[in-house]
Structure 1
């Protein structure tokens, strides 16, 4: 009996010891990072990337796709020339894969390592070279090979180690050990739990440490200490911009400028729709008129000529993905700008796809170089940021002078239901999301001068027609439509029951425009843009001007 009791006690003690004794099993880091031969784990800030880097001849290389898509780099692979491009504020450098030299401003600069490598279907750019042209800093570690890259700067949550301990794969003493940390080491704090904290070590290991071995969390500033500096000067104006888009489709419209603007007041920029891409090779049509510019200048207005991609026979993807086509567009725009003495270029490329977007951004970069060198203001029109993050407004806000929100078309042709052209919540959301990427002194909000009259027919179809401010008011009066102020949209709303169905209208008038102008003032934006000239009532100009002082 005594022997049985002793064996039982021994078993209990052994089980207790096993349960509460930390495991000393170590996980192989190559298995942890899932790296194969020739691969280097890639740690971006505090996240282990699924993508892998390369170590070639002792030098670290980062995937081009990661640099551009995740880190915001402005390197660009040009298929036509088969070169890696990088556009600075003043020029574009060119790199041939497997070369140790690059060309910029007609000069060749030599390095002692290969700058761009093509491995499989991916391009890899040398970390040392990337650090010259981006505000990033990288560290390379071995056993196994891994590259830790910092590219986001500012406050981070950190925690100090209070006693020598281990970083484990999961939160538990039986989990395998990934690494040892010593008293005084600083770790990035990723997540706090009851007894464990998830941390990232300086050498890129994401794991768990017992909280009893850590000091209290604190905020630490992560500062960039490299040599790269953004050098993008801007031609932003000291005054608020009051821009009116002028739809010009003929020489006659140019000649009628004086009549068109006779009741206009407060506008300091007019943007005529003069240029359009007409072929995939980058040819453009032009209605640019020196007489028009001279008249606008005499009335105290700058002229920013607009270029669009509205030709249905032209492929935006094919055009912008070709360097020669981009260069042709830019050269022709410059020639026309110099011929008629333009003050700026307004880019209005709409309905871009995610595939087209990187080529569009490269076009904007290359155009910005020419505009900057020739004292031309560059502005870029963007839809309200809903499902269009690929427009890369952050990059636009760096290389262009103004980013314009087209704060309308909330409901338009093809919408599934009737609704406002630009309700106040829609406009507000567009401003707030744009300001997350672009500084307020570069953001202009576009407002509509048009209203849509919607008809919900008895057979279930939905249609709409565009109306000017005066036409909408006249229609309401002639049909006896009673309107009331709809607080949610910040617009006057009315309905009309007809034999064919129900008509609905959300008015854009002086009252609704004023609510939008209050937002522009509240968020201290750079100004307002109005679509389009000729659709407004004269009284609206005084409403706009009072919020742009």
Structure 2
């Protein structure tokens, strides 16, 4: 009997032992630390030997840097997105430009020399290089005009970029351990850290914390391996101080009237269009009209006109526009060439100085999106010339919309003296429906959106002195723009009773004749007064009017009340 029991006991013991070993192995497997290491090239998304990951602050971004001859380079899109959007590339002329308040820094792409008004400087490295169609610029060159710090680490290449220096949490490592891809003992190892190493604590969880090592590896460490968690305040980098873009803003509200001059003879209408405008302080004659793709323009500038204006106490800000010959010129061709921009700017400055003109008003309309960056560079470069010569620079803009944000009002507000909102053409020739030229909501939205990006004292809102008479028939909609007197005569001649419309803050009238419906949203003293009240509420730099000669005399009294506030 005893002999029979012993084998059974042995079997049971073996089963227990085997089960224990199996269970123990499973427990060990579950709770033991994985020794598997992550492929750091895969982790950082690095696909080439010259590619470097970018750690911006405490985040690995999708963009990559390039390492060439030991120099760190970023592509232009990444530079604009994260560091500085003032760098400009002229691919056609092989130039990298950076515009300062009174200078334009030039570098020929592929060269180690930069050129300024003071002369040439050898950098000791190539500032910019092409890789296919992508331009890369050296971080050391960017750093000359941008405040940030960077460090390059190897195995694999990665760059730590720091542009802000807020306080942050740090901790010391209490025991040799590993930084892992995720929070968990089975997660792959990114790197090893030693007792006494310091890490930044980015996020604390129940048992693991997200950390960044001194060499910018971001991963997870067990909380039990962290000690002495504390807050530290880094010392900000101040290698580069942004220069001051001085402005010629006036200490009074601007009251600018555009004077349409279509020929040299048009200058003779100066006296008639200013006869009632006693509180006008700036006149902008439409003198300069782009006419070719080499930066040429027609000019009706007149020294006699300028003298008359100055005798009346008026500044003259001559307008340059691109509409007159729009079908025969390419704004992209004009604006994208550094040589052409410079020729245009030099010609304008020569005319401003020759005729004693006080400033320039840029009215480049209907620009395509691909012209945006070149237009902004033109405004920057023009601002340098204006600043050096004491000339006022103002720029005309549409009411802000998503589809025209490439006009970059924010940058205009930095480099230009005045940013003018053309607060009209809400409904225009070609509109699919009849409507107001400038309803109060449209006007206020234009001002409100602009002052979000431009200092209020630099913003001028332009108001319309014209009204559109709309006709709707079975064949469609048409309209004509008329002056205030003609609009009121239309109302009177057709026995229309105009009534105040609270939605648009305008006097509205309509009548029907046959199958035609006529509608008018009047611009008059009542509508202008409401617009000016909104402008006063926003504390902007003044008012402009399109156009002189279309107003009734009493309008100037309404504008005078606004100017006196």
Equivalences for residues 200-349 of structure 1 within 5 A: 225-310=238-323, 311=325, 312-349=327-364
Equivalences for residues 468-547 of structure 1 within 5 A: 468-547=483-562
Give the C-alpha shift of residue 281 in structure 1. Answer: 0.9
Equivalences for residues 126-165 of structure 1 within 5 A: 126-151=138-163
2: CA distance, partners of 1:175 / 1:248: 75
1: CA distance, partners of 2:234 / 2:534: 33
1:43–1:332 Cα change, 3 Å: same
TM-score by length of 1: 0.86
| Other-structure match for 1:352 | 367
| Other-structure match for 1:57 | 69
State whether residues 440 and 524 of structure 1, in contact with CA within 8 Å, keep that contact through their aligned partners in structure 2: yes
1:430 partnered with 2:446: yes
1: CA distance, partners of 2:227 / 2:120: 52
1:234–1:214 Cα change, 3 Å: farther
1:47–1:496 Cα change, 3 Å: farther
State whether residues 398 and 422 of structure 2, in contact with CA within 8 Å, keep that contact through their aligned partners in structure 1: yes
Cα shift readout 1:517-539 (whole Å, capped 9, x = no counterpart) = 22222222111221111122222
2: CA distance, partners of 1:373 / 1:439: 22
Give the C-alpha shift of residue 333 in structure 1. Answer: 1.0
**Secondary structure at 1:147 match in 2:** strand
| Other-structure match for 2:457 | 441
1: CA distance, partners of 2:416 / 2:340: 20
1: CA distance, partners of 2:492 / 2:30: 84
1: CA distance, partners of 2:512 / 2:534: 34
**Secondary structure at 2:42 match in 1:** helix
State whether residues 173 and 199 of structure 2, in contact with CA within 8 Å, keep that contact through their aligned partners in structure 1: no
1: CA distance, partners of 2:492 / 2:202: 66
Can you give the 5+ residue segments of structure 1 that lack an aligned partner in the other structure?
Answer: none
Structure (1 or 2) with the larger CA radius of gyration: 2
Aligned equivalent of 1:454, options 465, 470, 474: 470
Give the C-alpha shift of residue 163 in structure 1. Answer: 8.4
Superposed CA RMSD in Å reads 3.6
Cα shift readout 1:475-522 (whole Å, capped 9, x = no counterpart) = 222223333333333323333233223333322222222222222222
Name the stretch that deviates more: 488-497 or 265-274: 488-497
1: CA distance, partners of 2:487 / 2:209: 62
Name the stretch that deviates more: 41-50 or 302-311: 41-50
Give the C-alpha shift of residue 230 in structure 1. Answer: 1.8
2: CA distance, partners of 1:18 / 1:513: 80
1:111 partnered with 2:123: yes
Name the stretch that deviates more: 285-294 or 440-449: 440-449
Equivalences for residues 35-46 of structure 1 within 5 A: 35=46, 36-44=48-56
Name the stretch that deviates more: 420-429 or 378-387: 420-429
Give the C-alpha shift of residue 250 in structure 1. Answer: 1.7
Name the stretch that deviates more: 167-176 or 366-375: 167-176
Can you give the 5+ residue segments of structure 2 that lack an aligned partner in the other structure?
Answer: 1-11
How many residues were matched structurally? 544
Give the C-alpha shift of residue 70 in structure 1. Answer: 5.3
Give the C-alpha shift of residue 140 in structure 1. Answer: 2.8
Give the C-alpha shift of residue 337 in structure 1. Answer: 0.9
1:93 partnered with 2:93: no
2: CA distance, partners of 1:496 / 1:195: 77
**Secondary structure at 2:518 match in 1:** strand
State whether residues 167 and 180 of structure 1, in contact with CA within 8 Å, keep that contact through their aligned partners in structure 2: yes
Give the C-alpha shift of residue 313 in structure 1. Answer: 0.3
State whether residues 40 and 145 of structure 1, in contact with CA within 8 Å, keep that contact through their aligned partners in structure 2: yes
Aligned equivalent of 1:399, options 415, 436, 444: 415
Name the stretch that deviates more: 219-228 or 73-82: 219-228
**Secondary structure at 1:413 match in 2:** coil
